[in-house]
Structure 1
Amino acid sequence: MSEPLESNEHHRRRVLKALLWTTLVGGIFFGILNIFNGVWMLSALEGFYACVSLALLRIVDRTPRLRFWTLVYLLPFFSIMMAALLLTKTSYTVFAWIQTIPIICYLMLGLRIGSRVAAVFVILGLVAFNYRFTGHNSITDILVISNVALASLAMMLFSHIYERSRMDNERRLLELASTDSLTGLANRMKLSEVFAREQAHAQRNATPLALIFIDIDHFKYINDQHGHDTGDKALCHLGHVLNERLRSTDMLCRLGGEEFAVLLPNTSPKQAAELAESLRLRLQDSPLQLGEIRLTMTLSAGVAYLGRDGKSLDDLMRAADRRTYMAKRNGRNQVVSSDELTADNHV
């Protein structure tokens, strides 16, 4: 199976680690410099936050509460920036750090929370800068604060646009990676992702979960007699016909070639077998129209159940595939729902 694309959380862990190392090294460096400059309070704050950064570096790779610790780190960190602006012995160059707030917030907190945190601290930074560094020349003050405010707004805007574009591109990539390009159905990677979620839900709530494995009968004959273009249309036709019968909570996916699977949350073994049979009948009664040719398609299917046939997706796939092979071996165009082939298992 394909590995899922790198998650947002993993991306943010790496960004947080980079910022923690920057804070650790910068805190030590500027803390020493501020001792020589006599800015004892700021030096103490920088030293303290260097220690905080070192502590967080020890847990950032394994904590499940990444957003919580990110906020625990960022809120005091930004507050120290505000305090630095207000101290009489600090240089106005401290404001350069305020300009990094939007970038940090959007990268580490995402669009919604990041925009809010960034807006609050950028506004506080502008107020602190205006209070601390503007003089008595009203025209000059207006020019200075306007330029600073415009630069801050530009950073906010650029960060927002970047994060929005990044999220949209990531969503499109995930859709492409989890979708079969021919039929538009989910692919095996998506099946793995959804199965993990539904398996956890089934175990937590003691609800059933079933899987149907589907193989188109005589698909090689369709390709050989009518061409691969018709074969592609047959695959799309099956997806369209079966999806019309499935519930919104069910998921039909193409595994590859002429093989498909249907994941059935909250579906008992009896219900899954009945649904598989109704899918078989629906495909059989819905021929593919190709000009004047009506191509009747049939399927063979096997059904497997979480718990009875195993706990993992691979367990269920093996059991359902085995039963599909039994259906094909015993004449095709039938559903097998257990390893004991009986009259109830096939047509």
Structure 2
Amino acid sequence: MPQTRLSNTIRTRSYQYAAAITAFLALAGLLVGKLEGAIVAAVFSILLILNSLFEKQRLLEKDPQKSLRRSSWTHITLLFLAAVSLLSATNSEYAASPWSFILPLLLLFFYPLKTALIATAIYSFCLVVILTQISDSAEKLELLINYMLCLALTAGFVYLREIKDQQLKPLRRTDNLTQASIKERLNDDLVKEIQRSEREGTELTVMALAIDDQGFDHIDAADHDVLLSKLGHVLHENLRAFDSYYRWKDHEFLIVFPYTNTQEGMKTAENLRVIAKDSLSDANMPITVSIGAASLNVGDNADSLLKKSLSALQQAQRRGQNRTRSYVDAETNTSKVRAATDTLG
């Protein structure tokens, strides 16, 4: 099962289990006469069920853009929880303030780390201000201490998760978002391809492909993952079985084409450029890519071949973006510029 679909499946089940637990809390609140807490738990349970249904729908989507789209129910759920917990902190008559303990953990579950940390900092600041300046509840000190304890435990959990993620990173073979191979494998794989090409006397071309900044920088940061996932899908669907592609930087990829000379590589690059533009663009924003290609020559190694392809990509971007360039073309143009400069000098 692809990583994104596995993640959606796990999220769906997590929502279902959490909805069942909160529904039980709502029932328990009714039985002991805590009506406000029961209402909050019931509403929260309904919101979790709606999130679960949305995740199920995403599992059925074949379009990567739709399968990665963030649900508006996610934002509504967390805004609801933040609002009722802060309101409860200002007035001891409401019994929903303990919900503030789980909010940081939910933020880290729903959102990327950076976004979750910013949201947690804002919420924590608001809660501290309310408890120290506004609230007249006798239990406010206990609530503040318990919240800080839960926040510390959450921070410890996040730290351990990041450590584990860094430890497992060398074992990964593909990027979860784009399904491209990770850049750490590129050098070893390319060395093997160069050795095979020299041994068999066949051609080899490396391409550097990047989404042009003029489109990428003008879309919302929340849509960057969607765009990158779509580009990964385009590469997966339009490359040969023995071609390989790697996530180099944020929106930059390197592609290795065995048995491919410069002319064939440029033709393939142009086809990829057109397909990517058609797949990534919409009516409101054209999204384009630029591609630089370099073929294996005598004396080349993995490092020089990568540098040549990246140099050709930079030339394509400097000449207006949305175009393909080979390293031979880039080198020729650079020589002409130098010759003209020398003549003028």
Give the TM interval when normalised to the shorter protein. Answer: 0.3 to 0.5
Output the TM-score relative to the length of structure 1: 0.46
Larger Rg: 1
